[in-house]
Structure 1
């Protein structure tokens, strides 16, 4: 669903009604508006770890602001990130986000830093430390070396750029403890997981209290919208004259109105929308597992968290980190699988690094149709 940007699906009646009404009242004013305050109040009341918010347009922009804020707040330079985690396409963190041959990755205790694009000078990422994810010992080792110089440790709640890879039990909680121990800010990037895994995202699901958090994708209900949030003490750094964050289209009026519609719709009737996408996602994952088990010629593992799931063609029982993905997941076989599904009217992105998501307008009939098509495709595949 548009890489996670459409929890209400395509052209939801409330979305169409809102855009049609509000566009006649002005597309953009580049100044603070009442709807900005209304949305901020909803978010602060919903998210216990967020005292104040600041709006941006994309997850990349929000992350850039968060990194600058972390450096300004702590007076430190280093950023600790994890292999396979994507935090936007800015120069400082666009490293080790794509799957590479395992022989290029270096030792797990000392990953080789690999820029994912031409045009990124080494100076941009020299203070970015890359660590193996889901490995407590690797994190403790990295913090012992770099923790006192780290402005923040940034992580996704669920690794979402290598399919769907959940955190091991207690891993994120230990990460949060280590951040507090070394004085680094704990930065939870909820661009993908926010307003998807639960109303409070991965923070709610795993019992976390991040110092800084960013959201995007689903937040805008289909229009560009992102957010930086966090503790009041940290967010105070964004006051005028301290850590600067500009943008003509930040807090865009139409996008804020859709954000408000998305939140009100998903939260109505005791968060029924979030319960709905969770149930549908879990049912879809269960059906895919059933189909895969019935056709055991192909090694298949289905991994998911609530509304998110992905199909891995692998002989491993579980994919737990970036190196597992690079080594054991057959991406070309998944591509063949996805393209064959398209021929049957079912869309799955052909990149194994991505994942599928449910929306409130999906139905049990959609799940059944998808399962039937998958069964046919697995029979046809060599």
Structure 2
């Protein structure tokens, strides 16, 4: 990433004196109102706008927001373009949100997940950008959701899926669901913050080191916590967990592909029934931000349980945790039960 410079902020302040205590008090009140208006955020999505002297960071959705807040600490004001409860893949930016991207000191986003954000960043000419996929490697997952190794092949691949599709030509964008890959992104975001705000580079480096250590510890928790399982296969609503599955030797079978809004074919549903029986699947996982109708229908047809496996694309009151780390630990517990990990 090329070295970039943070635009300086300045505020003009009147130094003139107004005679008379009443006039002076009135001028003070007006000044306070003006400062309050300047500090307010009319764009929504959290944060407090320019945040006074803090770095104005715009994050595309929750996983990027989490990194910016944890690493930036008190030196940043972070707002997100994706409101809690909004499915990130479906985001459409308003003109006001597009303006926020243009005005940001730093934009933290993940290319290939939200085309509307990709377009806004490309046209905005933002001086500082932290693009998550540039800090790690992408792989292909979930495009052939009808295959299941040599057992099931791709006999139904030509039937495809009904509904719309998003462009994921660069690979599976769900990198944050592998804690080790997410740690690589955290390191890149820390470097971008230091580049945008060199006066606080030491603090960003320290916060990055702390967060990366936590993510590596989480990675270890998953590796050890999934030992002794009786099955490797799990069924999910959409193919968000390819990186997680690959990291820990699991096999994800998704009802739909990378796009959570696509509709599965009848052939796919029949394949999943065969897979569930052959691999001893006990649970069909659904998500908090996507309709669970198809997952529950499949589970009912097969007499299986349903449970939440959260892709951590946003935090709401329905999430099984308050932040990335707690939701991921809830996911680990759900996988342990579904895959037959012996109780400790």
TM-score by length of 1: 0.31
Whichever of the two has the greater Rg, that structure is 2
TM-score, normalised relative to structure 2:
0.33
Determine which structure has greater relative contact order: mean sequence separation of CA pairs < 8 Å that are 6+ residues apart, divided by chain length.
1
